[in-house]
């Protein structure tokens, strides 16, 4: 009972929503006639994967000290555990990449995200929030500048985007293309998707069990939805 009492039902509900969204992305049509997105495509395409990334950051925060991040030996033990999970995700992603499906497999990028987030696990909330804000602002600029440079470098070698859009064991034969695709040019560029995990880490370092924090987050979500309704926005998309 004490362990159950410490769970956060809202986080579990969000995980369920993300899981249902990912399932819908894989089994339901996302595009209709005339290449127009279906209601399912508009609702979950890209968003489910992004929610999973944010929840991954929250989970990492909760497992590494919640409001007070672990330090020293316990932090290193947590980082080793996250690294082991990343290796499992990498192997699973490369294997699933061999299967031809109509969506891009994100597991390899998740593995890279888990490895890239390791240095941030010991940061306290103020430093973590600063990193998250800076990454959100600057990573799109970095991606915009790097993509043409990488394209110019890879094109003379006859390299473009990974075949099928997903990394697989065959992709290891072209390591430069593989790394470029994972971090910058692919469907889920890690350079920018780190922002989702950093946001999740920030949220996980908050006192999520307190009603005031929950209300503040709900207000921020409602405000974000209202601003999108009033001023418009571009829906997330896997391409």
What is the tens place of the pLDDT at every residue in 123-170? 999 999 999 999 999 999 999 999 888 877 775 554 445 655 678 888
Task: Say yes or no to pLDDT of 91 above 90.
Answer: yes
Rounded Cα distance, 64 and 109, in Å: 22
Per-residue pLDDT band at 199 (split at 50, 70, 90) = very high
> According to the model, what pLDDT value does residue 236 have?
39
Task: Say yes or no to pLDDT of 3 above 50.
Answer: no
> According to the model, what pLDDT value does residue 120 have?
95
**Which of 1-15, 121-135, 177-191, 206-220 ranks highest by mean pLDDT?**
121-135
In terms of pLDDT, which residue wins out, 113 or 239? 113
Per-residue pLDDT band at 105 (split at 50, 70, 90) = confident
Answer whether 162's CB lies under 8 Å from 182's CB. no
**Mean pLDDT score, 28-54:** 77
Task: Say yes or no to pLDDT of 97 above 60.
Answer: yes
> According to the model, what pLDDT value does residue 226 have?
59
Rounded Cα distance, 239 and 236, in Å: 9
In terms of pLDDT, which residue wins out, 26 or 68? 68
Q: What are phi and psi of 190, to 5 degrees?
A: -60, -35
**Mean pLDDT score, 43-62:** 86
* Pick from 33-47, 113-127, 190-204: least confident: 33-47
Q: Which residues fall within 8 angstroms of residue 154, CB to CB, at 6 or more apart?
A: 160, 176, 177, 180
Task: Say yes or no to pLDDT of 224 above 70.
Answer: no
> According to the model, what pLDDT value does residue 6 have?
67
In terms of pLDDT, which residue wins out, 5 or 100? 100
> According to the model, what pLDDT value does residue 227 have?
58
Percentage of the chain beyond pLDDT 70 is: 83
**Mean pLDDT score, 84-107:** 86
Task: Say yes or no to pLDDT of 216 above 60.
Answer: yes
> According to the model, what pLDDT value does residue 155 have?
58
Rounded Cα distance, 218 and 214, in Å: 6
Task: Say yes or no to pLDDT of 23 above 90.
Answer: no
For 39, counting Cβ atoms within 10 Å of its Cβ (0-12 exposed, 13-18 middle, 19+ buried), the class is exposed
What are the tokens at 226?
């209202």
């Amino acid at each position: 009972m004490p362990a159950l009492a410490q769970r956060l039902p809202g986080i579990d509900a969000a995980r369920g929503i993300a899981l249902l969204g990912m399932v819908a992305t894989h089994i339901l049509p996302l595009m209709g006639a005339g290449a127009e997105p279906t209601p399912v495509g508009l609702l979950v395409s890209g968003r489910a994967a992004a929610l999973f990334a944010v929840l991954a950051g929250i989970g990492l925060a909760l497992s590494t000290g919640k409001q007070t991040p672990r330090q020293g030996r316990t932090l290193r033990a947590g980082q080793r555990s996250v690294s082991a999970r990343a290796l499992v995700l990498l192997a699973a992603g490369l294997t699933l990449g061999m299967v031809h499906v109509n969506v891009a497999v994100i597991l390899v990028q998740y593995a890279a995200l888990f490895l890239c987030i390791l240095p941030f696990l010991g940061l306290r909330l103020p430093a973590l929030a600063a990193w998250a804000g800076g990454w959100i602002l600057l990573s799109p600029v970095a991606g915009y500048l790097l993509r043409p440079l990488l394209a110019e470098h890879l094109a003379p070698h006859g390299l473009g985007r990974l075949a099928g859009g997903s990394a697989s064991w065959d992709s290891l034969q072209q390591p430069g293309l593989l790394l470029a695709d994972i971090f910058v040019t692919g469907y889920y560029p890690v350079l920018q998707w780190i922002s989702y995990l950093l946001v999740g880490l920030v949220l996980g370092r908050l006192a999520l069990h307190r009603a005031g924090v929950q209300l503040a987050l709900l207000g921020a979500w409602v405000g974000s939805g209202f601003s999108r309704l009033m001023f418009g926005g571009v829906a997330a998309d896997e391409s």
